[in-house]
Structure 1
Amino acid sequence: MANFDEKSEIIPCNTPWGKWLQTVEDVFVEVLVPEGTKCKEISINIQTKTIKVVVSGKELFSGDLYKAVHADEAVWTLEDKKLIRICLPKVHSTAGNCWKSLLKSQYEADPSTFDQMEQKLTLEKFQNENPGFDFSGASITGNYHDGGPKLG
Structure 2
Amino acid sequence: MSTHFEERSGVILCRTSWGSWYQTMEEVFIEVNVPHGTSGKEVRCNLGSKHIELHVKGQEIFKGKLFGTTVSDEGTWTLEDKCLIRIVLMKTNREAGNCWASLLEGQYCADAWVQDQMQRKLTLERFHRENPGFDFSGAEISGNFAGGGPDFSNLQK
TM-score (norm 1): 0.92
Q: Which moved more, 1:117-126 or 1:139-148?
A: 139-148
Q: Which runs of 4+ in 1 moved over 2 A?
A: 5-8
Aligned CA RMSD, in angstroms, stands at: 1.7
Q: Per-residue displacement from partner, 1:35-54 (whole Å, max 9, x unpaired)? A: 00000100000111000000
Residues 78 and 85 of structure 1 are in contact (CA less than 8 Å); yes or no, is this contact kept in structure 2? yes
What residue is the counterpart of 1:136 in the other structure?
137
Of stretches 109-118 and 125-134 in structure 1, the one that deviates more from structure 2 is 125-134
How many residues align structurally?
148
Whether the 8 Å CA contact 2:71–2:90 is kept in 1: the answer is: yes
Q: Secondary structure at the match of 2:41?
A: helix
Q: Name the % identity.
A: 55
Deviation at 1:62, TM superposition (A): 0.5
Task: Give distance in 1, aligned partners of 2:121 and 2:115.
Answer: 10
Unaligned 5+ segments in structure 2 are: 152-157
Which one has a larger percent helix, Structure 1 or Structure 2?
Answer: 2
2:20 corresponds to? 19
Aligned 8 A contact 1:115 1:144 in 2: no
For structure 1, the 5+ residue unaligned runs are none
TM-score using structure 2 length: 0.90
Q: Which residue of 1 aligns with 2:54?
A: 53
- Equivalent residue for 2:94? 93
Query: 1:69-108 counterparts in 2 under 5 A?
Result: 69-108=70-109
Counterpart amino acid of 2:38? T
